[in-house]
A and B are shown apart, each in its own frame.
Chain A
Amino acid sequence: MKIVVNYDLCESNAICMAVAPEVFEVRDDDFLYLLTEEPGEELREKMEESARRCPKQAITIEG
């Protein structure tokens, strides 16, 4: 599973960070950073929830 963030869409609402802080981190510069691009399979449900709840629909899951 690969996480792709469309940074042209991302507005750092940080909802994804609330769902999965082990993968998504919005830092002091207000930008979103991916802590891993290929999270383990055990995080799939959280990744799907992050994608679902992203207000900008900027997160996609490949594979």
Chain B
Amino acid sequence: MTVVIAGASLAGLTAAETLRAEGYEGAVIVVDPSTTIPADRPPLSKQVLAGEWPPERAQHRVAARVPELALDLRLGVAATALEAATRSVSLSDGSLISAHGIVLAMGAAPRRLPGDQPAGVHVLRTMDDCLALRNDLDKMPAKVAVIGAGFIGAEVAATCRSRGLEVTLIEVAPLPLGRVLPGELGGFIADLHRAHGVEVILGVGVEGLDSRTGTDGSQHVSGVRLTDGSVVAAEVVVVGIGVVPNTSWLEGSGLRLENGVACDATCSAAPGIVAAGDVASWPNPLYGEVMRVEQWENAIEQGEYAAKRLLAELQGTEMPAPFASIPWFWSDQYDRKIQMAGRPSSSDEIIIPEGSIEEQRFVALFRRGDLCTGVLGVNRPRHVMQVRMKLTESLSWDSAFSVFA
């Protein structure tokens, strides 16, 4: 029997490890266009970028286990086409594999600004991205502009400040982290960065990049032109405006592509084909809502689940219950640990049962009628996890709020 796993990052390798842990002894072919096992990503915007960790330390536990998992690991090889009905996968080295089972875990690629990319403009997704940016930061640029105040942008801004660099953080939305934080809570993030000396520009879009011609004729970025006509001078620009799931190779495969690979409630995209991590969208039964989660822990949890689900199908054993998860993430910015569990929407009511925004240490609960849709903690890890444990059982407001009784 043969299982093909597309993607050797956290979700893909966790799926491989789970197949072995569950006793599967057949072939496991893991392909990834990267020529090395992709790095564990959280340190790339923090410790590695700050220069505190050597690159080799940003390796995930499961990557170190690869030799003992007896995988057919094909690095530098991308999956280029899939025929879902026959489970056949074409690879960039020209080979064609007939698989019994397929795990889609290709992750996502960062969005870039349209147009030419002069030197000094960076995205941050891979170790190569991180080291290229770090190399530019080592030259002590007079000013760094970060476009996009999502998690990557906010963490990069914080890391650049910790390196003593002048930073401007530019966000088109009225508040930072607007895609994940309800209501006014993004204001806390903006204040946190301003208090640490970051210039934060909100509600203004980017028109384009200015560049200058170097003595060798090459183009180097010199500034960011904003839609209000102003220009932010910058020698280094970091673009953190979200990611796109790596699904273009699945066009014509027979799979439904809609905000990633559309799966059923058990992360199955078609018979014998499952998806996990950044590429998978599935109806989360806890929320009754189709979700795609771009978070570190979900890659592990969903990678495990998808592998078990696939094995159950291939071996004809009992199917697991639908993949019910309360998404969770953390972000370290300066000395604040920001954690959120759940999936609140921007219109949910915000209740702060513990601490206060003023002291920069608090818990915020999100309420929609009788439901608690999520929890945010700033330097309050215990409470966040206690609420998350309640939410895993049910989204009942009373149950979640009882943590603070």
Q: Interface residues, chain A, CB within 8 Å of chain B?
A: 11-15, 17-18, 21, 26-28, 30, 51-53, 55, 57
CB distance from A2 to the nearest CB of B (A): 18
With most chain B CB atoms within 10 A of its CB, the pick from A13, A14, A55 is A14
A18 x B385 contact (CB < 8 A): yes
A18-B385, A30-B379, A30-B380 given; 18 more Cβ-contact pairs under 8 Å: A11-B337, A11-B381, A12-B382, A13-B337, A14-B382, A14-B384, A14-B385, A15-B328, A17-B385, A21-B389, A30-B382, A51-B61, A53-B297, A53-B300, A55-B296, A55-B330, A57-B60, A57-B61
Whole-angstrom CA separation of A13 from B382 in the bound complex? 8
- 7 closest A-B pairs (Cβ-Cβ)? A14-B385, A26-B382, A14-B381, A12-B381, A57-B61, A18-B385, A18-B389
- Tell me which residues from 51 to 79 in chain B have a Cβ below 8 Å from any Cβ of chain A: 60-62
- Interface positions, chain B 328-360, Cβ under 8 Å from A, are 328, 330, 332, 337, 339
Max count, chain A CB within 10 A of own CB: residue among B296, B380, B385, B389 = B385
List B contacts of A15 (CB < 8 A). 297, 328, 385
A28 / chain B contacts, CB cutoff of 8 Å: 382
A51–B65 CA distance with the chains assembled, in angstroms: 13
Q: Is the CB–CB distance between A55 and B297 below 8 Å?
A: yes
A62 to chain B, nearest CB (A): 15
Nearest CB in chain B: distance from A45 CB, A = 10
Taking the nearest CB of chain B, how far is it from the CB of A12, in angstroms? 5
- Chain B residues numbered 257-316 whose CB sits less than 8 Å from any CB in chain A: 296-297, 300-301
The answer to the question of B42 belonging to the interface, with a C-beta cut-off of 8 Å to chain A, is yes
Q: Which residue of B lies closest to A14 (CB)?
A: B385
A26 CB, nearest partner CB in chain B, Å:
4
What is the interface of chain A mostly: helix, strand, loop, or mixed?
loop
For the complex formed, measure the closest distance between the CB of A44 and the CB atoms of chain B, giving whole angstroms: 12
A4→B212 CA distance, assembly (Å): 54
A14 to chain B, nearest CB (A): 4
Judge whether B367 is part of the interface by a CB distance below 8 angstroms.
Answer: no
Tell me the smallest distance from the CB of A35 to a CB of chain B, in Å: 14
Residue numbers in A under 8 Å from B332 (CB-CB): 11
Closest to A52 in B: B300
Which of B42, B60, B61 neighbours the largest number of chain A CB atoms within 10 Å of its CB?
B61
Are B60 and A13 in contact, CB atoms less than 8 angstroms apart?
no
Q: B193 on the interface (CB 8 Å rule)?
A: no
A-binding residues in B (CB < 8 A): 14, 42, 60-62, 296-297, 300-301, 328, 330, 332, 337, 339, 379-382, 384-385, 388-389, 392
| Complex alpha-carbon distance, A49 and B337, angstroms | 23
How far, in angstroms, from A28 to B355 measured CA to CA in the complex?
A: 12
Across the interface, do A53 and B381 meet the contact criterion of CB distance under 8 Å?
Answer: no
Which of A13, A21, A57 contacts B381, CB < 8 Å? A13
> In the complex, A12 Cα to B389 Cα: how many Å?
16
Residue of B nearest to A21 (CB): B389
For B297, the chain A residues whose CB sits under 8 A away are 15, 53, 55
Q: Is there an interface contact between B339 and A13, defined as CB atoms closer than 8 Å? A: yes
Cα–Cα, bound, A55→B61 (Å): 10
Q: Which residues of the partner chain A approach B339 to less than 8 Å between Cβ atoms?
A: 13
Contacts of A26 in B (CB 8 A): 381-382, 385
Which residue of chain B has the shortest Cβ distance to A29 in the bound complex? B382
In the complex, chain A residues whose CB is within 8 Å of the CB of B388:
18
A14-B339 Cα distance, complex, nearest whole Å: 10
Q: Which residues of A contact B328 (CB under 8 A)?
A: 15
Nearest chain B CB to A51's CB is how many angstroms away?
7
- B42: chain A residues at CB < 8 Å are 55
Closest Cβ–Cβ distance, residue A10 to chain B (whole Å) = 10
- What is the CA–CA distance of A11 and B385 in the complex, to the nearest angstrom? 13
Contacts of A17 in B (CB 8 A): 382, 385
CA distance A57 to B58 in the complex (A): 11
Residue of chain A at shortest CB distance from B339: A13
> In the assembly, what is the distance between CA of A2 and CA of B82, in Å?
45
> Can you sample 18 A-B contacts with CB below 8 Å?
A12-B381, A12-B382, A13-B337, A13-B385, A14-B381, A14-B382, A15-B297, A18-B389, A26-B381, A30-B379, A30-B380, A30-B381, A30-B382, A52-B62, A53-B300, A55-B42, A57-B60, A57-B61
